[in-house]
Amino acid sequence: MRSSSFWTNTKRVFRSGFLSFWRNGFVTLSSILMMTLTLFVLGLVVFTGIILNETLQSLQDKADISIYFTTDAPVDQIMSLQQQINTLPEVATTTYTSATDELAAFEERHQNDQLTLQALSELGSNPLGAVLTIKAKDISEYGAIAQYLQQQEALGGTNSSSSSIIDKVNYFDTAHQEAITTLQNVTDSAEKLGLVIIVILALVTIAISFNTVRLAIYTSRDEISVMQLVGAPRSYIRAPFLVEAMLYGLVSGIVTLILYYPLTYWLGQATENFFGGINVFSYYISHFGLFFLLIIGAGVLLGAVASYLATRRYLKL
């Protein structure tokens, strides 16, 4: 019996909330448009962050330190140095390339330069030495690795067993480092700016939804008075306004998700070509469930907050 009464009250609450949502026409439309704008900007910030982070990661993957060895460097000494470097906490991986492989790669890069290949063949021996490539766990840790090599006197000292086998160390390109640092700053700034914009729009959206619920409360003041007289619970009186405000968020979220489909489709190829491989359309489709939860959840939450504030302020319960 109690279960039947619960479902009856639930149906009445949702029916009342939907009727109020539908009945308030222009005000409801204004709330939906403002909330859609907020959710749309939220999604744009997410997409921008994804693109910038992927681009930053792509640049970071290209950064490294290369140690070039002399042509007569013994392999066992090179392997010993590699083992020492692998013990550093900043080092992610090290890759050894033999002198023979270096020569083959050089010939492949200059396969259309006959003059260079002819000069190489006249030497009669391999002028290139082996190379050890070091990748750090983070872009900021290359400096520590380079400092370690200097401390070990690997760049010309007399006490290091490895000093005689190292020709030079190519500390990663300064221009590349500056590009990564700049992109990192842009990413951080974009995230902060996006957050500020989202907060501002969210506050405006809550204010509009707040006034919409307040108007609904004023319109339904006679019904509310009757429900209070007959002893209706507070939750029962508040519930329809909560349903109405959450409907704003639900509809706005659906509209936003629909708008993203043609937008990401249009930008997909451009982002793939310009930002190094990430297609926002493919990403949106493959992660649609995540975006659905994010956008719909944010919309419903904004509506719920607005409803809570309005009912607490204007319903004298």
Structure tokens at 1: 């019996």
Least confident interval from 30-44, 89-103, 152-166: 152-166
- Which domains are delineated in the chain? 2-59+178-314 (no CATH), 64-171 (3.30.70.3040)
Q: Where are the beta strands (DSSP E) in 74-172?
A: 91-97, 131-136, 166-170
- Looking at per-residue pLDDT, the higher value among 26 and 131 belongs to 131
C-alpha–C-alpha distance, residues 147 and 170, integer Å: 13
Q: Which pTM value belongs to this model?
A: 0.65
Closest CA to 49 of 188, 201, 177, 197: 188
Q: What is the pLDDT of residues 44-59, one digit of tens each?
A: 888 877 777 777 777 6
The angle that helices 234-274 and 221-229 make with each other, rounded to 10 degrees, is 130
Structure tokens at 303: 């509506």
Kindly state the average pLDDT of the residues 215-233. Answer: 68
Q: What is the pLDDT of residues 70-99, one digit of tens each?
A: 888 888 888 888 888 899 898 988 989 888
| Exposure b/e, 266-288, CB count within 10 A at least 16 = b | ebbeebbeebeebbbbebbeeee
Q: What does the pLDDT read at residue 239?
A: 78
Q: What does the pLDDT read at residue 8?
A: 66
- Which residues are 228's β-sheet partners? none
Closest CA to 207 of 299, 314, 306: 306
Secondary structure element (H or E) that encloses residue 67, with its range? strand 65-69
* pLDDT for 154 beyond 50: no
* pLDDT for 157 beyond 70: no
Side chain identity, residue 278? I
Q: Residue 164 in contact with residue 78, Cβ under 8 Å?
A: no
DSSP secondary structure letter of residue 166 = E
- Which residues are 97's β-sheet partners? 131
Residue 259 pLDDT level (bands cut at 50, 70, 90)? very high
C-alpha–C-alpha distance, residues 294 and 247, integer Å: 16
Q: What does the pLDDT read at residue 258?
A: 93
Q: What does the pLDDT read at residue 177?
A: 62
> What does each C-alpha distance from 12 to 6, 19, 51, 53 come to in angstroms?
10, 10, 46, 48
| Exposure b/e, 218-252, CB count within 10 A at least 16 = b | eebeeebeeeeeeeeeeeebbbbbbbbbbbbbbbb
* pLDDT for 317 beyond 60: no
Kindly state the average pLDDT of the residues 281-309. Answer: 87
